[in-house]
Amino acid sequence: MVALSAAALALSMTACGSDNNSGTSSSGASGSSSAAAGAADCGGKAALTAEGSTAQQNAIAEFNKAWGQVCSGKSLSYNPTGSGAGVTQFLAKQVDFAGSDSALAADQVAPATERCGGNPAWNLPLVFGPVAMAYNLEGVDKLVVNADVLAKIFTGAITTWNDPAIAALNSGATLPDTKITPIYRSDSSGTTDNFQKYLTAAAPQTWTKGAGKEFQGGAGEGAQKSSGVVQAVQATPGAIGYVEKSPAKAANLPFAQIDSGAGAVELTDDSTAKAVGDAKFKADGMDLTLDLNALYASKEAGAYPLMLATYEIVCSKGYDADTAAAVKSFLTVSADQGQANLSAAGFVPLPDSFKERLLKSVDAIA
């Protein structure tokens, strides 16, 4: 077993200490699934391990607290090393499940099946979070961009903030001739994959670099993990970087509005909730891989299009009985009581219809 980071251990301790925090107990949740999250759903081993996405780290902390409150003594140790590392550790049987900002790639399906004892691994989207275009531009409190402009910035085709293409989206604003420094994730990252998928869908003629967890744009400066992107944007006048809303908000960084063709849309709870409603699944069945092209290419007024769906990658079968029961318990509580404080943490609570389908897949884990 790989050594867990200090952050992971602290996360585990947070969950263990949450039993005294009765404010978010199971009695305070609503719906039939809450009633089901009682003692019967608290079986299995007391401690789980997971690794992966830094984007979902704060959401996992909320889920961990809720799990410790609903199921006394239960805790998850989550190591936020990035999506690529998390999937690697899952395939190597070093953790019980992986957190990833992208579903398993085609060349990972067979190794995942082998890891799960010949059974399919399922991609279960548990966390939706908007990706903020955080920027550092003195004197500019409001900035509007679109997919075409972002594609040109991150390929080096637009290099200064007073470029006519940016000025056209910011009528009436005085933009400086400051050099633009794009900040991208230098580590393997599902956030990068989602950002590049967004550019591919929304600006296909401009962004021809493709997607993937490695940045393909060829312009700017790289930074490790979400925290590194935030720090780089803060430290670099003229910088702009893609990063999850939660760390950008915590750092008090401004983030741009996005105009998909129906007017500029601010990143708010309402605009992200509206966007989540556009997400669709690629197929019927228990694997819930999302087809986000409709969301990314949407021109719907009032919907913020640059969203990130974070998956928990789990074995459909192949766990020992204690691990299977604990994984099901954690995911059930996460999808139910764990949603209560997600908005305050910078994420989008799951719509009821989405939650119902997710819980059906969780219940089918054997």
For strand 181-185 and strand 239-244, is the pairing parallel, antiparallel, or unpaired?
parallel
Please indicate if the annotation marks 310 as binding a ligand: no
Q: How far is CA 310 from CA 85, 186, 236, 307, 333, in A?
A: 15, 19, 28, 10, 17
Please indicate if the annotation marks 263 as binding a ligand: no
Please indicate if the annotation marks 227 as binding a ligand: no
Please indicate if the annotation marks 103 as binding a ligand: no
Contact 169, 150 (CB under 8 A): no
Look-up: residue for tokens 């009436």? 172
Please indicate if the annotation marks 72 as binding a ligand: no
Please indicate if the annotation marks 236 as binding a ligand: no
CA dihedral angle for residue 248, residue 250, residue 256, residue 262, rounded to 10 degrees: 100
CA proximity to 208, closest of 219, 220, 196:
196
CA dihedral angle for residue 196, residue 199, residue 204, residue 207, rounded to 10 degrees: -70
Q: How far is CA 217 from CA 195, 211, 339, in A?
A: 11, 10, 35
Query: For residues 192 and 88, what is the distance between their CA atoms, to the nearest angstrom?
Result: 17
Please indicate if the annotation marks 191 as binding a ligand: yes
Q: How far is CA 98 from CA 19, 156, 315, 343, in A?
A: 25, 34, 10, 23
Tokens of residue 135, six digits: 């920027």
Please indicate if the annotation marks 102 as binding a ligand: no
Tokens of residue 202, six digits: 């929304």
Query: For residues 236 and 176, what is the distance between their CA atoms, to the nearest angstrom?
Result: 15
> Residues forming the annotated binding site?
53-55, 83, 101, 189-191
> Residues forming the annotated binding site for phosphate?
53-55, 83, 101, 189-191
